[in-house]
Structure 1
């Protein structure tokens, strides 16, 4: 297993840790070798979010269980801080597969990637009001300063809440901020309300215990925020065997972490250096689907229904300008093939 990094600093900080803690058995540090049951070995470039239990958590479990060798994959792992930069790397040709949160779903919906596994439903997105703001309900947001990152799930939860309350973005003072700045601005009183995702929402609630929850994902059951593993358009069509084998790794690692969440947190914390309590907070605000559940949802059409709802939301947000058939950007066939190959 080889580690290529998004930045030079990440090479030392994350790649080395994962190489030491997760790989094992390579001829040289950072590479893998071994048997794959007679299949010809393949190469694959895989990205992940290094602060996410859904990213580094999945990768660290795969490393610990030595699943890359089992699947016959010589993998190069690259840590990123978010989903959109992974899709940018795909466009540049340096990444085949990566993980994105629900807020980046508009990118595959616009043809920039192909969803190959809907990993989890997340419930860590919050609309939080300062106890000094006087806001107790979403209807109280009129004229309030709302800090929200452009794009992403914070923007999504804000839109859903405003729409349900009969308001629009014109009724508030929208303050676009980088995600960490939402936390600092809320704590310092520069904004009245934060529209933000986990773990930053958890940080706000820890630092301002009196913060008022105005809205959360659970208030909108008709719109599921789905994190997902995606493939570049080129890999989805030109590296189908490699992507299918990645899904073999994914299925086994995902089912393991579903059954052993504490161990997944332990491995992810050791690999990334992220605080275990922060990673556990993410686990507490999500629902991982087992591979059997994903296979059933893919077959029944529920997966496509969920993505159709997300596409509708991104059209409302203006992130998308036209609708594309979900079948064009969500591939359920490779997952079924990978599941069948593991029987």
Structure 2
């Protein structure tokens, strides 16, 4: 007997027909699950954007109906190039590249902060020794290094326009008054900065976590000789930004993402060891020991914030410096760069 015949026979029975009709009616009335909203997200495997790693690896994004298509980049400037080519909906990168994007008429807005004062100058070998001998005078330490070695310190950092590069230049020019010629600045991606420090190919680096903690643990005598507070007080760091077209078309999805970003920020500040396994999945490809990630999340350079208002003044100072240095092709309207409304909606104004 065919299925069609069985169905016809069963519907001749009034009770079965009634039951079947009720089931079909309930099925028709049941709300269909909404399809998840897909967002193309660019990121770097560094601790300043750890909120993304927590909310994705913990499964919060899936629970909120967000399908985050993640693309890894080696530096913020590389992400700017992708933006200029029409790629990416959401970016978690430095405020420096965010301003560079806006100065090039790429229509993005900063929706949330991620971290502030996260940069440190790591010194190894002869440079670390020079700073040990001149602990209170960085300019004198650079001079002492050159006297002893016959060359200027080689300082690795991210490409020009990035936050680590901008902070280094600000320190040399504005704080120490020695200029960028006091050192040899070597731009490179995040992975190469760590490799160069571990291999002894450079004397120091303006960089961030987990590179700072990893190098300190693996290289004898390595030490952080200047913090962001020394180099650019109130320094803004990584941010969460989105294209204006995505803000217009996927506003509710972005509000959900920002609510998760705020939640992850609280977790990173209050329970860093609990979320460390999530972060480790992204920053070390399991090559960095969990204990190292835990220490990095609790280091003085891990100052997680979410409220974009917390970095506005620091952004202004960095913007003005970048204009003077020519890192920005033109001034950026910072009031247009920041869009606080979605963060306020995500946090109910808290």
TM-score (norm 2): 0.70
C-alpha distance in structure 2 between counterparts of 1:154 and 1:54, whole Å: 12
The answer to whether residue 281 in structure 2 is matched with residue 265 in structure 1 is no
Structure 1 runs (4+) deviating above 6 angstroms are none
Q: Which residue of 1 aligns with 2:110?
A: 115
Cα displacement (A) at 1:100: 0.7
- In structure 2, the gaps of 5 or more residues are 1-30, 132-136, 147-151
What is the aligned counterpart of 2:214 among 203, 206, 221?
A: 203
Cα displacement (A) at 1:99: 0.9
Q: Which residue of 2 aligns with 1:52?
A: 46
Q: Which residue of 2 aligns with 1:304?
A: 312
Which structure has the bigger radius of gyration? 2
Q: Which residue of 2 aligns with 1:282?
A: 296
Greater per-residue helix proportion: 2
Alignment of 1:1-150 (within 5 A): 41=35, 43-49=37-43, 51-55=45-49, 57-70=51-64, 72-110=65-103, 111-112=105-106, 113-128=108-123, 130-131=125-126, 135-136=130-131, 137-139=137-139, 140-142=141-143, 144-149=152-157, 150=159
Cα displacement (A) at 1:224: 1.5
Cα displacement (A) at 1:263: 1.6
- For the 8 Å contact 1:157–1:216, the answer to whether it is kept is no
Number of residue pairs aligned between Structure 1 and Structure 2: 297
- For the 8 Å contact 2:235–2:314, the answer to whether it is kept is yes
C-alpha distance in structure 2 between counterparts of 1:45 and 1:224, whole Å: 29
C-alpha distance in structure 2 between counterparts of 1:155 and 1:54, whole Å: 15
Taking structure 1 as reference, are residues 212 and 109 closer, same or farther at Cα in structure 2, changes over 3 Å only? same
C-alpha distance in structure 2 between counterparts of 1:135 and 1:156, whole Å: 24
Taking structure 1 as reference, are residues 58 and 262 closer, same or farther at Cα in structure 2, changes over 3 Å only? farther
User: Which secondary structure state, in structure 2, belongs to the residue aligned with residue 98 of structure 1?
Assistant: strand
- In structure 1, the gaps of 5 or more residues are 1-36
C-alpha distance in structure 1 between counterparts of 2:58 and 2:222, whole Å: 39
What is the aligned counterpart of 1:156 among 158, 162, 166?
A: 166
Cα displacement (A) at 1:215: 1.9
C-alpha distance in structure 2 between counterparts of 1:87 and 1:274, whole Å: 28
- For the 8 Å contact 1:148–1:195, the answer to whether it is kept is yes
Q: For 1:220-253, what per-residue CA distance to the aligned partner results, in whole angstroms no more than 9, with x for missing partners?
A: 4634132111102322344333322322332333
Cα displacement (A) at 1:65: 4.9
Cα displacement (A) at 1:38: 9.1
- For the 8 Å contact 2:114–2:304, the answer to whether it is kept is yes
Cα displacement (A) at 1:75: 3.9
C-alpha distance in structure 1 between counterparts of 2:47 and 2:203, whole Å: 29
Taking structure 1 as reference, are residues 119 and 40 closer, same or farther at Cα in structure 2, changes over 3 Å only? same
- For the 8 Å contact 2:95–2:237, the answer to whether it is kept is yes
C-alpha distance in structure 1 between counterparts of 2:58 and 2:195, whole Å: 36
